[in-house]
Amino acid sequence: MEYIVVAVVALGAAALGTPLLQAVGRRFRAGAYASIAALGIAIVMVAANAAYGGSVSSFGGLLVSDALGDLFALVVLSMSLAVAVVSIYSSPNGPNLPSYYSLLVFSALGMLLLSYSADLLMLFVAWELMSLPTYALAGFDKKRVQSNEAATKYAILGALSSAIILYAMSLTYGVAGTTQISGVVAKLASEPFNPLVSVAILLFVVGFGFKMSIVPFHMWVPDAYEGSPPAVATLFATATKKAGFVAAIRVVLAVATVYALAPNSIFTLANVLAVLAVITMTLGNVAALTQKTMTRLLAYSSIAQAGYILMGFAIFAYSQQTGLYSYNAMLGMTGSLFHIINHAITKGAAFLAAMLVIVQLKRGDLGAYNGLAKRMPVTAFTIAISFLALGGIPPLSGFWSKLLIFVSVINTPLAWLAVAAILNSAFSLGYYFWVIKRMYLDQGESAEKVKEPFGFVVVFAVLVGLIIGIGLFPQPVIAFAHAAASGIFT
């Protein structure tokens, strides 16, 4: 746990100290470099904790250091670092720059604490520490009307989701008499059916579903992603969204191991998650096909990917409540955690590439991608690889995580989920290949080469290397995800 403490101190110092660099930030971008250094230190500390830390609790049981927390912390901090690096080329170069990086690091600190939260109150504090800075980041481009609208919509719905989560926590505390998640689970395991607990669980699904962008709690995503500065939209898709998933695992799935939503065998958490998974992936893919801008296309694609991840949650909840299909449950959770890693990497690459197109070409409509391979070859290649991985094309990384998830529900009562997911994956290839065709086969308005900054090229190389490398050698990442899944609630 001492490694996590060092990571928290580094991020806290950078978040609080960066605004103090206001005087020199305009010339030397000291705040940006300090934030990048702090994020780098935090990643090293989390990696050390994963290798040597073990599974322990600390701070009176508020935090727990385990493989699940390590996995999510590495994902959210790595993507925050990527956003911080590329923001040097696109964030406002002036007196607001230190504030931008301070908010970014505060959000990263909230996500780090959220990854290891073992208490409902700690989880809520971390949730707000993550969320509040992002409301300001969404509207950071104050001169754009779309940015102001995105920030307003995001803040209102975000506050609503926080209120719902807090109300769910109050109901849970009223029934269990404790805010310790392990204590809540132990108390509910010994209690008969209580409608208040069922209401609390559903409220948790709604509140966390906002960040996970599952249907019907997704309405903020396209507008917020499109209106926010491109780097901030990348942070939403690759980091804060993942924090929603770890919160759902810590709370919703923990309670699902010992509690059924209702005496009726049909109205169970597994069935609720399964239905939400199908609706989410279907609506996301259908809506993505009709979009005219890359940011909105990526937003709806991100919604669809959340549906695939929910499949692993559904089979896990089903197994825990019935005592059957334990192997499938572990396979499904491993696949979901693996897909969370893959989604962060692939979606991060796609969003950052789209960000560079917006910065360099000053437009974000799909017409800007016609002939892009000739003008910005590295950017076009990055988009192509990330889209193929998102579509599940072998041997890229996305193929393996989807395969694990799909196989986990076959030969179970949730086998219909696999059929729906395979059809949706095939459908999604339509708009993925459509964009690739635009970049490589269509004629653009101009063939003039466009500069691709070195920082972007480095980040693209790392992310594409991970997509290909994990696809060719998936076993280490699968083992990491399996270790995280095996340690859940043990």
- For 242-263, write each residue's pLDDT tens digit: 888 888 888 887 776 655 655 6
**Per this entry, what is the length of the chain?**
490
* Spatial distance between the Cα atoms of 243 and 165, rounded to a whole number of angstroms: 14
Q: Which pLDDT does position 54 carry in this prediction?
A: 67
pTM for this model (two decimals): 0.90
Q: What is the mean pLDDT of residues 463-475?
A: 94
| Cα distances (Å, whole numbers) of residue 481 to 299, 333, 336 | 25, 8, 9
Q: Which pLDDT does position 75 carry in this prediction?
A: 92
Q: Which pLDDT does position 67 carry in this prediction?
A: 87
SS3 content of the chain, % helix, strand, coil (to 5): 80, 0, 20
Tokens of 388: 């193929």
Backbone angles phi, psi at 352, to 5 degrees: -70, -35
67-87 vs 475-486: helix crossing angle, rounded to 10: 130
* Spatial distance between the Cα atoms of 277 and 136, rounded to a whole number of angstroms: 30
Return the percentage of the chain with pLDDT > 90, whole number: 36
Tell me the average pLDDT of the chain. 86
The larger pLDDT score, comparing residue 53 to residue 475, is at 475
Of 378, 235, 380, 375, which is closest to residue 294 (Cα–Cα)?
A: 380
- For 422-445, write each residue's pLDDT tens digit: 999 998 888 899 999 989 988 877
Q: Which pLDDT does position 27 carry in this prediction?
A: 52
Q: What is the mean pLDDT of residues 84-92?
A: 76
Q: Which pLDDT does position 142 carry in this prediction?
A: 75
- For 208-249, write each residue's pLDDT tens digit: 888 888 888 878 888 888 888 888 888 888 888 888 888 888
Q: What is the mean pLDDT of residues 375-403?
A: 92
Q: What is the mean pLDDT of residues 319-348?
A: 89
In the chain, what are the domain boundaries? 265-490
Cα distance between the two ends of the chain:
18
Q: Binning pLDDT at 50, 70 and 90, where does residue 3 land? A: confident
Q: Which pLDDT does position 261 carry in this prediction?
A: 59
* Spatial distance between the Cα atoms of 420 and 487, rounded to a whole number of angstroms: 29
Report, in angstroms and rounded to the nearest whole number, the Rg of the chain calculated over CA atoms. Answer: 21
User: Is the confidence at residue 25, as pLDDT, over 60?
Assistant: no
Q: Which pLDDT does position 91 carry in this prediction?
A: 59
- For 473-487, write each residue's pLDDT tens digit: 999 999 999 988 887
